[in-house]
Amino acid sequence: MKHALASLAAVMAMWSGASARAQDMFDRSTLSGVLVAGPVLAADTQSWTSGGLGKLEHRGADFAADAIVAWRPDISHRVSSHVALALQSSVRGVVGLDEAYLRLRRDPEAWTGLSARAGLFFPPASLEHDGAEWTTHHTLTPSAIGSWIAEEVKVLGAEATLHTSVSGRPASLTAAAFGGNDTAGTLLTFRGWALHDIRATAGQTLPLPPVTPVFFEQAPRTRPVVEVDGRIGGYAKAEIAMSEALSLSAMVYANGGDPTSLRNGQYAWATRFATVGANLRTPGNTTVLAQVMFGTSRMGLDADRQAITDVSFHAAYLLVSKPVHAGSLTGRIEAFAVDDHSFLDLEDNAEKGAALTGAWSRTVSGSTELVTEVVGLWSDRPARARIGTRPDHLDIQTKIALRIRF
């Protein structure tokens, strides 16, 4: 009887411990997110989100509501999981799987340590996405660089980061191997750069503008997260704090795409880019971000082994954000371009453009902000003439939104 009672007590203790761990996994503290909602007034131009060549997300008067909801339960004291859903009013399907990965946290007591993650995630290529759940907090709309990373550069892979120091300053080196990002470059080529807050999710498709008949096998919508050729890509990033106020970073990326591969209307693109950035915080808590990106993307081979589509691209921005009373005032200036090096008589994908963004945010409560943002974007893209519009165009968009972090 004593043995039976002891066994029962042990089982109850184990059950109680498992129950407590289960409760911890679904505790409110494991849930977080960001909600952004409010009216939008934009130029009456057919946006790229509806198959046009407009550079901004919205057209005319609209209402936008977007949210990221993340669940982050701990598996052990150093291992956690991250599962996030994206709710986006401007995309087909509205709700999608944003990120899902396991994370190994760095040992907090070690001066030199290792962190890692494996699964579906965004590479650390955008300086602006430094808010909760990989969101921006200086503006509502990311730069052209940040927008492209969000829409086309999401990977399924494994990443490891070595945290160390150089001359007594924190430094890190990150390396990753991945798949599932073979179509990166499709939107950037056929549509060009754009400014928006749409982010790729698993299984999601995004619209393309009309393309010439030479690309008759291309589906009318591109799938950003898909494996086409079975090849592995990789990226590496180095970051160092030069002082308490200034940090510098550099990253290189290559998706390893085979430009001859095609599956279910999705071409594989051989896309590479490099980006460098600087983050400065002045004594008055003014933040300055600067980032430059340049790269190439190729797809298809003709009988002479020439790429059917061969573009180079580059973009840069400077952002300054200054605290003002109970909020902040942010300004950003940027320029971008795509150069087309192939068969311009069939499909001229060249473009150039520039944008100015101004945002003012004011804290309503501890976790809620009221944000007003104006984006003005000028671009010149010869391909617009093919669909009966002027090559050069000015897009203007105004957003007023509540941004709630929870």
Could you give all domains of the chain from N- to C-terminal order, each with its CATH number? 30-405 (2.40.160.10)
Q: pLDDT confidence of 265, banded at 50, 70, 90?
A: very high
The arithmetic mean of pLDDT across residues 331-339, rounded, is: 98
Task: Please determine, for residue 234, whether its predicted confidence score (pLDDT) is greater than 70.
Answer: yes
Q: What pLDDT shows up at residue 384?
A: 84
Q: What is the share, in percent, of the chain residues with pLDDT greater than 70?
A: 90
More confident residue, 359 or 13: 359
Q: pLDDT confidence of 50, banded at 50, 70, 90?
A: confident
| Phi, psi of 224, deg, nearest 5 | -65, -35
Residue 189: closest CA among 78, 298, 40: 298
Q: What pLDDT shows up at residue 109?
A: 77
Helix (H) or strand (E) holding 400: strand 392-405
CA dihedral sign of residues 147, 358, 374, 53: negative
Q: What pLDDT shows up at residue 24?
A: 67
Q: What pLDDT shows up at residue 44?
A: 79
**One-letter amino acid identity for 387?**
I
What letters, b where the CB count within 10 A reaches 16 and e where it falls short, cover 367-399?
eebebebebbbbbebebbebeebeeebebebeb
Separation CA 251–CA 277 (nearest Å): 9
Task: Please determine, for residue 352, whether its predicted confidence score (pLDDT) is greater than 50.
Answer: yes
Separation CA 333–CA 255 (nearest Å): 29
Task: Please determine, for residue 294, whether its predicted confidence score (pLDDT) is greater than 60.
Answer: yes
Q: What pLDDT shows up at residue 211?
A: 74
What letters, b where the CB count within 10 A reaches 16 and e where it falls short, cover 63-89?
ebebbbbbbbbbeeeeebbbbbbbbbe
Task: Please determine, for residue 276, whether its predicted confidence score (pLDDT) is greater than 90.
Answer: yes
Q: pLDDT confidence of 285, banded at 50, 70, 90?
A: very high
Q: pLDDT confidence of 344, banded at 50, 70, 90?
A: low
Residue 253: closest CA among 301, 297, 289: 297
The arithmetic mean of pLDDT across residues 224-249, rounded, is: 97
Task: Please determine, for residue 3, whether its predicted confidence score (pLDDT) is greater than 60.
Answer: no
The arithmetic mean of pLDDT across residues 64-90, rounded, is: 95
Task: Please determine, for residue 13, whether its predicted confidence score (pLDDT) is greater than 80.
Answer: no
